[in-house]
Amino acid sequence: MAIIKPFKAVRASRDKVALVSSKSYETYTPAELGAKLDFNPYTFLHVVNPDYKYLQEVSTERRFQLVQNRYSDFKRNKIFNQDTIPAFYIYERIDANNTFCGIIAATSIDDYLNNVIKKHEGTIHKRERLFEKYLKIIGFNAEPVLLTFKDDETLEEIINLEKVKNPEYEFSTTDKMLHKLWVVSDENITQKITNAFAKIEALYIADGHHRTASSALLAKDLASENETHNGTEAYNYFMSYLIPESQLKISEFNRFVKDLNGLSVDDFLEKLSVHFEIDNRGQLIYFPNKKHHFSMYLNGEFYSLYLKEENYNFTDALSKLDSEILFRTVLEPILGVKDLTNNDRVGHSDNKKDVISIKTKVDSGLYTVGFSLTAVTIVELKEIADANLKMPPKTTYIQPKLRSGLTVYEF
C-alpha cells in the first residue's frame, strides 16, 4: 500500500511566487531563458542556471555546487522560506482545455524499490548516476515527480472540501495558465489523506523516471553513510505530485527517420505491405483514430497503414503497443533502426505545438519519412507497468508538465 507523508516545503511568499516558480528550464528557447534571467531577479531559473551570470563554462561538479549556493542565497534573502508545520499541498493548474488537481507530498523510496510505485519506461544508468550526484550536492527536490493513481472518492472529497477555502497561492502565468495551491497542515486532515493512500495498491510514474531512480540511488548512498540510519530520514522520500488517473492527459509522439535505409520508395512500400494494408491518400491529411492504425507521410503524400493482425504475433502487453509494433515491423527490420535511445537517424515530436508536424518536418528536408500514432491509454500504461515491461522511448507525452520551485523538498 502507498506510503506518503506531509513535509515542510520551502517556498516563496504569496507576493513573489508568480515570479519565482518557472517551467522546466529545458522548455525555454535560449532567447526566452536569457530574457527571464536578465529581467527577473526572482525566477528559480537563477538557481538552476547559476553559471549564467559568469558567461563561461564551468565543470559539472562546480555547477552543481553553484546551484546549491544560489539556492542558499534565495533562502538567505527571504525569497524562499520554509514552512514550520508539515503539510500536504493541493495544487491545481487550469488552462483553456484542461484542469489538473492533485496533492504534492513526500513519497516513499521503499515503495519504489518494492514496486508499489510502478514504472513504464527504462532508465539510463549513466543519467541516474549523474542526477544522483546532482541531488547529493544540492540537497533538495525542486520539481515533483508526476505520479498517478486510480480515482478515489475519499481523496476527491477531501480535496474538494479544502478547495472551498481561500488558496495560499492564486496566480496566472504568461502561458495563460491559472495556478492555485492550498496548504493542508491540519493533522486530522493530513492523517485522512495518509490513510486514504495507504489503501491504494499502486502508484504509477507518469513522468520523472530518471529523477525517481536517482532519488533511490541517493537514498541507498546516504543510508550507507549514516551510522544511525533508521528509515525516517528525509532522504528516504522524494517529492511527488499525485494526480487521479482520470485527469492525466496522454498525447502521442510522432516518429521520423532521416532516410529509407538505401531503399527506393517503391521498394520500401513493398516491404511495408507484408504487415500493413496501405492506402495512398495523396495530399489529404490523415491521422489514425484506431489502435494499430498509423499515418505515414512520405515523398509529399500521406498514407494510411492498417496492421495485418494475422501476420503479427501478439504475445504480451508490450507487443500490443503501437510504438512497439512500429519498431518491430518497420523501424528495425526495414529501416535498420536497432536502438531508439541514442540514434541520430530518428526524431520524435508531440503534436502540442504543431498538429501537422509529421508533414512540416518531412517537407523541410530534415527527415524522409514520418509516422503518426494514436495516443497510449492509461490502461495500456498500467498494463505495461504491472507486467514490469518498458515502453520504447518517446512513446508518451504526458500532461500536466510541472513547474519548478513552486514547492521545494529538502533532504
- Cα of 408 vs its chain's centroid, Å: 18
Cross-strand partners of 179: 93, 171
Cross-strand partners of 80: 12
**Cα distance between residue 102 and residue 168, in whole Å:** 15
**Cα distance between residue 25 and residue 49, in whole Å:** 8
**Cα distance between residue 348 and residue 391, in whole Å:** 15
The whole-number pLDDT of residue 202 equals 98
- Cα of 195 vs its chain's centroid, Å: 27
Q: Within the chain, which residues score under 50 in pLDDT? A: none
SS3 state at 329: helix
**Cα distance between residue 219 and residue 183, in whole Å:** 27
Q: Report the amino acid identity of residue 236.
A: N
Within the chain, all domains assigned CATH 3.30.1760 are found at 252-397
Helix (H) or strand (E) holding 204: strand 203-207
**Cα distance between residue 148 and residue 168, in whole Å:** 24
Q: Are 105 and 242 in contact (CB under 8 A)?
A: yes
The whole-number pLDDT of residue 321 equals 97
Q: Are 12 and 38 in contact (CB under 8 A)?
A: no
- Beta-strand runs (E) in 219-324: 237-244, 249-257, 276-282, 293-298, 301-307
CB atoms within 10 A of CB 231: 10
Cross-strand partners of 311: none
Q: Which residue in 198, 199, 208 sits closest to 120, CA to CA?
A: 208
Q: Which residue in 150, 7, 26, 135 sits closest to 403, CA to CA?
A: 26
Q: Report the amino acid identity of residue 155.
A: L
SS3 state at 346: strand
**Cα distance between residue 26 and residue 31, in whole Å:** 12
CB atoms within 10 A of CB 392: 20
**Cα distance between residue 213 and residue 208, in whole Å:** 9
Q: Which residue in 255, 385, 392 sits closest to 317, CA to CA?
A: 385
SS3 state at 118: strand
Side-chain half-sphere exposure of 105, counting CA atoms within 13 A: 24
The whole-number pLDDT of residue 18 equals 97
Q: Are 317 and 296 in contact (CB under 8 A)?
A: no
Q: Are 326 and 255 in contact (CB under 8 A)?
A: yes
Q: Are 106 and 411 in contact (CB under 8 A)?
A: no
**Cα distance between residue 93 and residue 400, in whole Å:** 8
- CATH class of the domain comprising 252-397: alpha beta
**Cα distance between residue 306 and residue 297, in whole Å:** 14
- The three-state DSSP-derived secondary structure of 345-411 is CEEEEECCCCCCHHHHHHHCCCCCEEEECCCCCHHHHHHHHHCCCCECCCCEEEECCCCECCCEEEC
Phi, psi values for residue 39, rounded to 5°: -115, -5
